[in-house]
Amino acid sequence: MATRLISLLIFLIFSGSPGIAQQQYPKNYFRSPVNFPVTLSGSFGEIRRNHFHSGIDIRTEGVQGKPIYAIADGYVSRVNVSPGGFGKALYITHPNGYTSLYAHLRNYAGSIAVWVKNQHVKKESFSLDVEVPDGILKVRKGDLVAYSGNSGSSGGPHLHFEIRDTKTQEIIDPLDFGFMRADNIPPKIAWVKIYPFGDNSLVNFSDKAVLIPVTGAEGRFRLQLADTVKVSGNIIFGIETSDNAEGGLKTGVHIIDLTVDGTKVFSQNIERFAFSETRYVNSLIDYPAFVQSKRKVQRSYVAPNNRLSIYGEVKNRGVLNFVDSKVHKIQYSVKDAFGNPATLVFYVKSHPPANLGGKVQALNNAGDQLFTYKSDNNFERGNLKFNVPSEAVYEDFAFEYSLTSPVQGSYSGVHHLHNQYTPLHTWCSLSIKTENLPKNLESKAVIVAVTSGNKFVSKGGSFENGWITTKIRDFGNYTVSVDTEPPVIRVINIFPNKKVKNQSSIQVKISDNLSGIRTYKGLLNGKWILMDYDEKNRLLTYIFDDMMRPGRNLFVLTVTDAVGNSSRYEAALIR
């Protein structure tokens, strides 16, 4: 029997939901958010840094200003405007239990634009996150609601589009609602990776993981190497897979199933997920491989503190134990968003555990302190206090720490907190005691991450009794530095006493050397004006409105960084 061919770990039995059934969604209720054929530059559930891609990215032919339409009757329930992230985003709640999201917009349309502008003025802020009561901004299916853009953290003009379950706020793949014609191209499987897991586990007689290229076409794949892979002990499998629809359009891989000798041991389906889960992507993937080479190997393994809801049937958290002397058939089956299947079949040869002479050591025998996901981890060494709360890591590991001398521009030694190849899930408290910090610079001090070339990236912090404390979400190298330089203001299209009758905007670039821009404020003739902030391009833009009056106008811009350094620009403009 197949169950006799492998010995599964019996002390870690784990199952997600009993099985993830494909849900049915209305196909004809919604219209498209655009009036041209939907093609994608980004698919639902794509693996990104620290998150899953939460919607689809609809191409807008590389330009901004494409009309965006309400996909069904409903009301605008939320408006979010941010210099980064989604940029200008619009949420519409529909009566059938779903909410649609339109992001990276250039601007809003009609009565929505007027309402949003009034909110900016009321709050005297470019950034907004406003819940809109039902009845304020009602829309009908097909109403023009916005224009596509490139705002926020967008890497180019496109529409980021989502559909969410209004009640649970789970994000659902919009392709399940029929927003794109189906393709017939199966997914691709490019690599398989096999990991020894723990003591006395081997792959090809080594305690190192093995990455193996895959070959094949038309949904049938195999390993490029001809030899059967040798395994022993506890083993984890993983694959790198992707999907390309006709014309090179991404639609995404939904389902990954793993069977051993015909028995399913692992399954996942990323048809929907909650925002609260998205950072668990760092536990799904081979995180070190992603950091080192951007390789997106999805492990068929569920760490003890991996709370993703995408898993179906999972035996022993995906850890398989090979101790016999037989050949075993391994099969991966994957499906894309339209159900097109692809399979990878290969074989492993199991052998009993080998005597390694102590070559492989238990995790707990190395490092400075064992960190556990189950409880708070408090680590203190001289001038360092580091707290990693419970559930901030995905599984227990040996934390490693070292201290090296201060580098130029720092006011403490460099504290090396573990390594960049281990992810942190939640925020952790870091306190560093300063060394030789002048009294007059205490308010300018920040904790910084030290990157290659001893470059500093500010992580902020507050100073008290010789210590600076901040929150971090990545292991790495940290020290203390100071920011004494004010932000830089560089005007683009104005100068003092310029005649601006033939232009329609003021554009200014702002930047800061370390702690980062905290606030900016533009005034025209003593009154606040709305300046659109494009963070990625460091660009402020004021579009002329009735605040720019005929004759002489006084423009004043004040920019302040995170430690209170401030710059001011002033110019009279003639219209």
- In the predicted model, is pLDDT for residue 6 greater than 70? no
What digits encode the pLDDT tens for the residues 244-300? 766 556 678 999 999 999 999 999 999 999 999 999 999 999 999 999 999 999 999
pLDDT of amino acid 359: 42
CB 539 within 8 A of CB 464: no
What digits encode the pLDDT tens for the residues 216-232? 999 999 999 888 999 99
User: What's the whole-number mean pLDDT along residues 32-47?
Assistant: 93
pLDDT of amino acid 184: 87
pLDDT of amino acid 24: 83
**Sign of the C-alpha dihedral computed for residues 55, 60, 65 and 66 taken in this order:** negative
User: What's the whole-number mean pLDDT along residues 156-178?
Assistant: 96
CB 250 within 8 A of CB 40: yes
pLDDT of amino acid 31: 97
Q: How many CA atoms lie within 13 A of 70 on its CB side?
A: 25
User: What's the whole-number mean pLDDT along residues 491-496?
Assistant: 98
pLDDT of amino acid 246: 63
H or E segment to which residue 114 belongs: helix 110-123
Taking the CA atoms of the chain, what radius of gyration do you get in angstroms?
27
pLDDT of amino acid 360: 39
pLDDT of amino acid 250: 67
What digits encode the pLDDT tens for the residues 423-460? 999 999 999 999 999 999 999 999 999 999 999 999 99
User: What's the whole-number mean pLDDT along residues 530-546?
Assistant: 97
User: What's the whole-number mean pLDDT along residues 341-368?
Assistant: 72
Query: Could you give the strand order of the β-sheet that contains 445-451, starting from the edge strand earlier in sequence?
Result: 401-404, 414-417, 476-482, 445-451, 455-458
SS (H, E, C) 5-28: HCEECCCCCCCCCCCCCCCCCCCC
Instruction: Enter the tokens of residue 96.
Output: 């059938």
Cα–Cα distance for residue pair 373/382, rounded to 1 Å? 24
H or E segment to which residue 194 belongs: strand 188-196
Listed in sequence order, the residues at least 6 apart from 68 whose beta carbon sits closer than 8 Å to its beta carbon are 33, 34, 102, 105, 109, 144, 145, 146, 147, 148, 159
Amino acid identity for residue 394 in this structure: Y
Beta strands in 199-270 (DSSP E): 202-203, 210-217, 220-223, 229-242, 253-260, 263-269
**488 three-class SS:** strand
- In the predicted model, is pLDDT for residue 97 greater than 90? yes
pLDDT of amino acid 14: 34
Compute the CA torsion angle 533, 534, 536, 538 (nearest 10 deg): -60
| Residues in a beta bridge with 457 | 449
User: Domains in the chain, please, with CATH?
Assistant: 11-17+183-350 (2.70.50), 56-172 (2.70.70.10), 363-482 (2.60.220.30), 488-574 (2.60.40.1220)
H or E segment to which residue 284 belongs: helix 281-284
pLDDT of amino acid 249: 62
User: What's the whole-number mean pLDDT along residues 79-94?
Assistant: 97
Cα–Cα distance for residue pair 512/152, rounded to 1 Å? 19
What digits encode the pLDDT tens for the residues 302-332? 999 999 999 999 999 999 999 999 999 999 9
User: What's the whole-number mean pLDDT along residues 486-505?
Assistant: 97
pLDDT of amino acid 355: 63
pLDDT of amino acid 18: 38
Amino acid identity for residue 451 in this structure: T
Terminal alpha carbon distance of the chain: 87
User: What's the whole-number mean pLDDT along residues 127-138?
Assistant: 96
- In the predicted model, is pLDDT for residue 362 greater than 50? no
- Is beta strand 138-139 parallel, antiparallel or unpaired with respect to 74-81? antiparallel
pLDDT of amino acid 179: 85
The chain-wide mean pLDDT, for the chain, equals 92
pLDDT of amino acid 183: 84
pLDDT of amino acid 2: 38
- In the predicted model, is pLDDT for residue 347 greater than 70? yes
